[in-house]
């Protein structure tokens, strides 16, 4: 844990730990806005014999798959927090077999015992820059509306690696045109949590046929004077699991993240 500086205040650590406790006790909703200012992460767990290919896949697609920690086969603790247990501390998990989601659960402890050779990748999440957007006066609509962020499978192919291939997934936040430059500046400073937008406006150029029908998350509310802004999304590994037909995998449910003990500002460059 020594290579990541703990810059959190006692109050921030308390908020993060309370949020995780709430999740362990049954909170199963999207985590945007929880423990504001603390880093949230995505998760993908793959069998040991797929781990190298996924690591290379993430290295080749760093904006959509920025790895913040890799947990060795069978382990469930992370350097991103003192008491984190990845088997219990996400609100919801998706279980995958041969590229198909077969179940959704709120605890994977039993599944973990049955599959002891899983390697876990924790990946930066765009929820971690939303506090800065709101501080700049930019409305983060899914937090305002208490919905899940809309996410879309695009026509943009990621760079493949070994057995892994898939399409880019993006998250979308609508905003007024004059706010876009500031949003770009804010998020460009945090490349390890997806960085600057990958596309602005014109959803059809990403292969999105209906902006109101996301592939993951909830339908957005977009005002007449707003444009759509898209960021690379940590659900991209799940798209790779689907396309590559990984025999078995575990992921977070989109929008249902792990809250760490690391302040968002840790990743700013």
Average pLDDT score, the chain = 95
pLDDT reported for residue 6: 57
pLDDT confidence of 125, banded at 50, 70, 90? very high
pLDDT reported for residue 47: 97
What value does the mean pLDDT take over residues 253-267?
A: 94
In tens, the pLDDT along 4-41 reads: 555 789 999 999 999 999 999 999 999 999 999 999 99
Containing H/E element for 81?
Answer: none
In tens, the pLDDT along 179-196 reads: 999 999 999 999 999 999
Q: What is the pTM of this model?
A: 0.95
Q: Give the tokens for residue 61.
A: 């697609």
Indicate if the alpha-carbon torsion angle 219, 225, 228, 229 is positive or negative: negative
Asked if 19 and 29 touch (Cβ cutoff 8 Å), the reply is no
In tens, the pLDDT along 194-224 reads: 999 999 999 999 999 999 999 999 999 999 9
Give all domains of the chain, ordered by start, each with its CATH number.
10-127+237-267 (3.40.1640.10), 129-236 (3.30.2040.10)
């Amino acid at each position: 844990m020594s290579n990541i500086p703990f810059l959190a205040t006692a109050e921030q650590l308390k908020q993060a730990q309370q949020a995780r406790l709430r999740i362990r006790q049954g909170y199963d909703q999207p985590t945007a806005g929880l423990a504001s200012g603390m880093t949230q992460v995505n998760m993908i767990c793959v069998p040991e014999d797929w781990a190298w290919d996924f690591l290379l896949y993430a290295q080749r697609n760093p904006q959509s798959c920025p790895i913040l920690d890799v947990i060795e086969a069978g382990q469930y603790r992370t350097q991103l927090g003192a008491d984190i247990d990845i088997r219990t501390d996400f609100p919801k998990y998706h279980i995958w077999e041969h590229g198909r989601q077969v179940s959704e659960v709120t605890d994977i402890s039993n599944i973990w015992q049955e599959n002891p050779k899983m390697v876990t990748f924790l990946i930066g999440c765009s929820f971690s820059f939303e506090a800065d957007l709101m501080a700049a006066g930019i409305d983060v609509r899914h937090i305002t509306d208490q919905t899940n962020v809309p996410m879309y499978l695009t026509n943009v192919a990621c760079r493949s690696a070994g057995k892994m291939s898939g399409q880019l997934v993006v998250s979308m936040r609508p905003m007024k045109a004059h706010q876009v430059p500031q949003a770009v500046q804010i998020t460009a400073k945090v490349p390890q949590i997806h960085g600057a937008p990958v596309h602005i406006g014109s959803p059809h150029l990403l292969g999105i046929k209906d902006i109101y029908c996301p592939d993951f998350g909830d339908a957005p509310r977009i005002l007449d004077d707003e444009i759509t802004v898209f960021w690379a999304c940590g659900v991209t590994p799940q798209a790779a699991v689907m396309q590559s037909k990984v025999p078995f995998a575990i992921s977070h449910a989109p929008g249902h993240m792990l809250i760490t003990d690391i302040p968002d500002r840790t990743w700013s460059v």
